[in-house]
Structure 1
Amino acid sequence: MADLADQIFTTVKETGQQGAPLYLRLKKTIEDAVQRGIIGPGDALPSERDIALKADISRVTVRKAVQDLVKGGVLIQRHGSGTFVAPRMDRVEQSLSRLTSFTEDMARRGMTVRSEWLDRGVYPPSPDEMMVLGLSAKELVARVSRLRIADDTPLAIERASLSTAVLPDPEAVTTSLYMALEKTGNRPSRAVQRISAANLGEADARLLDVPAGSASLRIERISYLATGRVIEFTRSIYRGDAYDFVAELRLGGSEAIGDGQ
């Protein structure tokens, strides 16, 4: 371990980021060591004391750099065991141009999918649900919430809301929500999604098996039938270290003509 500490941290003062704070220079050194394979997935990091001594910096500086890397998913900490390089995860790439279910997306990739149900019930609607789904205060809303897991890795938390006129029994959803809706002729044909970045709170981070404060993608989706009726209101949280959303952009005809190119 001492040799590893020497190998990694003698470059802290030699890094090109001479104007950067020490903790950022240390953070960059550890990231580079992981990327170059000097330390690999599952390897233990030297102790804060060893790092501080070898790099001639304070343990407070070391702790700040390590905590930033834990939040970024580069390192993981195990209580009573130490700090380790996080296992590498193949990122999931999802197109924003196709309206498919999580189950269908993962099946196309040959991944084994399962869910842990967080909630399947009927409730009075919230103000947001009333507004989006067009419900009155006297109507009820069906909520289907679950942790989505692919190849034993928790990837997303989905919380869907639908009118009970469409989904009277949430318990009837056993695998794919869209497959259940298709059976009753209510599968959505289009959707509008809003994606934003956010740091995970403790409860959601615990479900996704990542540290609190880790990066995530929050997605609010409103889905429609071909008639234009809103059918689904879903708020999802995806792990930021596991998901990439991809959209194909095309130059519009009028803009292309106007550019004269």
Structure 2
Amino acid sequence: MGSIRQGWGGRRPVLGAIAASALAAVLTGCQEGSLTLSTPTTSPTAGPATKPAPAGPETPSTQVTATPTSQLSAADYVLAAGPETAGFESSGGADDPDSDGDSAIETTVATCAGFPEYDPPEPSDETTGDLFTSTEESDFQAVSRAKILPASQIRQNAEIVTSPLFGDCYRAALEEQFTGPDANGYTYELVAVETPPPPPGATALIRTSLGVTDQYGTYGYVRDTLYFYVGEVAVQLEVINVQNVPPPDIEQGFVDQIADRLTNQ
């Protein structure tokens, strides 16, 4: 990881939580309806994107009912405490990201991904779920956000996050954001942006590896951003882990829970 130090020690007990909070404004900018992207650049680390699933029903497990958006609650679709979150503590509701800056760049975002006509409506409901923190490693965290949108918008959002340009656009957006210290004095080094195949149940996955520097040193983090688009619900799940890729079995449990919730519309 270049200058990223391999020793973690106990020098920054709250860095993980602060880093996750600071990154939220950038990385959740790619949440549906406010994709924080920019002009694409060539990125050798970005893999091919996965094609979106057909909009129509495929099997009984993916079929959803046509409930009007006004009757859906975003809180029903975020990650919640359950068997899948065993070993994690919930902090209660996480802070909603500031969306004002996101809306100002939606046109640039859409143009980058090949959708100049992108003009999403306001969600009929949206919420950020609890922040789950591992009891063994405080820097291993997960948080989700859900929005209720028209089915046509959900389909378009799925096309955007599965566009072959998405990984490069995402990387370009991060490079523009990581130009200096943030409000807390932390600086960020973007190491890699990848688009591996998403785990079963998710629409798309983008994996960001980066270094976060504080007064003690630089520490490596891997953040998975998983997107779900089903029916009239959009969910984004963020999983951040110190140094290593989030354990696939634990992450799949989170995905399975959200995917199961999305069948109930």
- Fold shared by both chains (TM-score > 0.5): no
- Name the structure with the higher strand share: 1
TM-score by length of 2: 0.33
Larger radius of gyration: 1
Larger RCO (CA under 8 A, 6+ residues apart): 2
TM-score by length of 1: 0.33
